[in-house]
Amino acid sequence: MMTIHLQQLKFFAHHGVYKEEQILGNDFVVDVILHFMPSAFPVKELQQTLNYEQVFAIVQHHMNIPTPLLETVVGKIVAQIQQQFPQVKAGMVSIAKMKPPVKGWEGNVVVSFNW
- Distance separating alpha carbons of residues 91 and 6, to the nearest angstrom: 11
Given a cut of 90, is residue 6 above it in pLDDT? yes
CA nearest neighbour of 60 among 3, 27, 12 = 12
Q: For the whole model, what pTM was predicted? A: 0.94
pLDDT in tens, 61-103: 999 999 999 999 999 999 999 999 999 999 999 999 998 888 8
User: Three-class SS of residue 94?
Assistant: strand
Do 90 and 115 form a contact (C-beta atoms < 8 A)? yes
Let me know: does 41 contact 78? Beta carbons within 8 Å: no
Taking only the tens place, the pLDDT of each residue in 18-71 is: 998 999 999 999 999 999 999 999 999 999 999 999 999 999 999 999 999 999
